[in-house]
């Protein structure tokens, strides 16, 4: 995901050169004159599908196509875009894609104008299509529909995606339940039969079990050791049920937990 600084540099560069020269497999510019035209654009969904199926990137709204500029007045390419609710923008665009793609909308300002950056991730487990069924791919600076043979080869190259390894950029260890972390740490050290001198730090323990990656909390770490309210907020509601019936089918035991996995297992 490109940083705000990266995107502002790209927009700034459009003052000096043809915007088409700055487009790539990861960067696309669009000019929409209103939110209505943005939400109603089938082309937008196709562009996002194409970028997602390549390697991900960013689509920047508010930049005019260089072919529509007279006398190389490149600064006129920066037309800007009206402000709107980014959550609504994201939901409208997600509704045009299948399956769900976790795009992020972000506004940036330059020289008194607003620009909308749509951050587009890639998915390694599936191809992304438009709601109308068109599957696209980025080909240099342009996007196009994929051919049947391309789709077949792309699907054969997909891998099972472990979503639990994803990093939770907004969270840190404060989202973990301390009692669960301590109990899991003690159990881990006991199984490893560490001496007092060999005991790892809590941070090293969390890294070893995949709860963090380079100090950043992962989804699996949150689900395994997190506070229930944090799990519900960031991952959704998870429930675990234990049901036991006797030989004649009578319900003997039925209990539901909605805590982290460690507490549930305990």
Confirm whether 71 is domain-assigned. yes
Same domain? For 227 and 100 the reply is: no
The answer as to whether 165 is a domain residue is no
Domain membership of residue 57 as a residue range:
4-158
For residue 86, tell me if it sits in a domain: yes
Nearest Cα to 61, choosing from 95, 1, 14, 96? 14
As a residue count, the chain comes to 266
- Same structural domain for residues 178 and 249? yes
**One domain, residues 246 and 149:** no
In a domain, 163, yes or no: no
Same domain? 151 vs 38 = yes
> Does residue 22 lie in a domain region?
yes
For residues 90 and 145, membership in a common domain is answered with: yes
Helices 86-94 and 42-54 meet at what angle, rounded to 10? 80
Shared domain check, 203 and 139: no
Residue 166 domain-assigned? no
Residue 167 lies in a domain: no
pLDDT above 70 as % of the chain:
98
Arithmetic mean of pLDDT over the chain: 91
Query: What's the CA gap between 50 and 55, in Å, rounded?
Result: 9
SS3 annotation, the chain? CCCHHHHHHHHHHCCCCCHHHHCCCCEEEECCCCHHHHHCCHHHHHHHHHHHHHCCEEEEECECCHHHCCCCCHHHHECCCCCCCHHHHHHHHHCCEECCCCCEEEEEEECCEEEEEEEECCCCCCCCEECCCCEEEEECCEEEECCHHHHHHHHHCCCCCCHHHCECCCCCHHHECHHHHHHHHHHHHHHHCCCHHHCCCHHHHHHHCCCEECCEEEHHHHHHHECHHHHHHHHCCCCEEEEEECCCCCEEEEEEECCCHHHHHC
Give residue-wise pLDDT tens across range 123-182: 878 899 999 999 999 999 999 999 999 998 888 877 666 778 788 877 888 999 999 999
Checking if the pLDDT of 241 tops 80, the result is yes
Assess whether 35 and 100 both reside in one domain: yes
Among the listed residues 27, 33, 46, 48, the one whose alpha carbon sits nearest the alpha carbon of residue 90: 48
Residue 214 has pLDDT above 80, yes or no: no
pLDDT for residue 191 is more than 80: yes
Tally of domains in the chain: 2
Are 39 and 129 members of one domain? yes
> How would residue 60 be classed by pLDDT, with cut points 50, 70 and 90?
very high
Does 202 lie in the same domain as 77? no
The pLDDT score that the predictor gives to residue 156 is 81
Q: Is residue 164 part of a domain?
A: no
Query: Exposed, middle or buried by CB within 10 Å (0-12, 13-18, 19+), for 256?
Result: exposed
Separation CA 176–CA 216 (nearest Å): 12
CA 113 – CA 80 distance, rounded (Å) = 5
Identify the domain boundary among 123, 158, 193: 158
Say yes or no: 214 and 154 in one domain.
no
pLDDT, position 161: 62
Sequence-distant (≥ 6) Cβ neighbours of residue 27 within 8 angstroms: 10, 57, 58, 60
Query: What does the pLDDT read at residue 238?
Result: 85
- β-pairing, 212-213 vs 142-145, is unpaired
Which of 36-50, 68-82, 84-98, 158-172 has the lowest average pLDDT? 158-172
Query: What is the model's pTM?
Result: 0.62
Instruction: Give the pLDDT confidence score for residue 62 in this predicted structure.
Output: 95
pLDDT number for residue 14:
95
Q: Are residues 9 and 68 in the same domain?
A: yes
HSE-CB for 92 with a 13 A CA cutoff: 17
Beta bridge partners of 138: 143
Question: Pairing between strand 113-120 and 97-98?
Answer: unpaired
Residue 28 has pLDDT above 80, yes or no: yes
Can you give the pLDDT at residue 160?
64
Shared-domain flag, residues 111 and 12: yes
């Amino acid at each position: 995901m490109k940083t705000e600084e990266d995107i502002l540099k790209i927009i700034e560069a459009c003052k000096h050169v043809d915007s088409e020269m700055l487009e790539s497999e990861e960067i696309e510019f669009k000019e929409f004159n209103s939110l209505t035209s943005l939400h109603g654009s089938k082309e937008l969904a196709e562009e996002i599908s194409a970028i997602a199926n390549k390697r991900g990137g960013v689509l920047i709204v508010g930049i005019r196509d260089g072919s529509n500029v007279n006398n190389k007045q490149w600064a006129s390419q920066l037309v800007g875009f009206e402000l709107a609710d980014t959550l609504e923008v994201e939901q409208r665009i997600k509704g045009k894609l299948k399956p769900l793609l976790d795009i992020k909308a972000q506004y940036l300002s330059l020289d008194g104008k607003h620009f909308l950056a749509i951050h587009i991730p890639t998915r390694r487990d599936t191809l992304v299509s438009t709601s109308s069924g068109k599957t696209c791919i980025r080909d240099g600076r342009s996007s196009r529909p994929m051919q049947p043979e391309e789709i077949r080869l792309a699907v054969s190259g997909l891998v099972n995606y472990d979503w639990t390894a994803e990093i939770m950029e907004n969270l840190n260890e404060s989202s973990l339940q301390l009692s669960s972390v301590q109990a899991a740490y003690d159990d881990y050290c006991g199984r490893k039969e560490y001496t007092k001198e060999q005991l790892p730090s809590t941070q090293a323990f969390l890294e070893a079990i995949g709860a963090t990656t380079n100090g950043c909390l992962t989804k699996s770490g949150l689900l395994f050791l997190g506070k229930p309210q944090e799990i519900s907020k960031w991952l959704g509601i998870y429930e675990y049920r234990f049901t036991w019936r006797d030989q004649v089918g009578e319900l003997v035991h039925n209990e539901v937990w909605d805590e982290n996995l460690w507490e549930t297992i305990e």
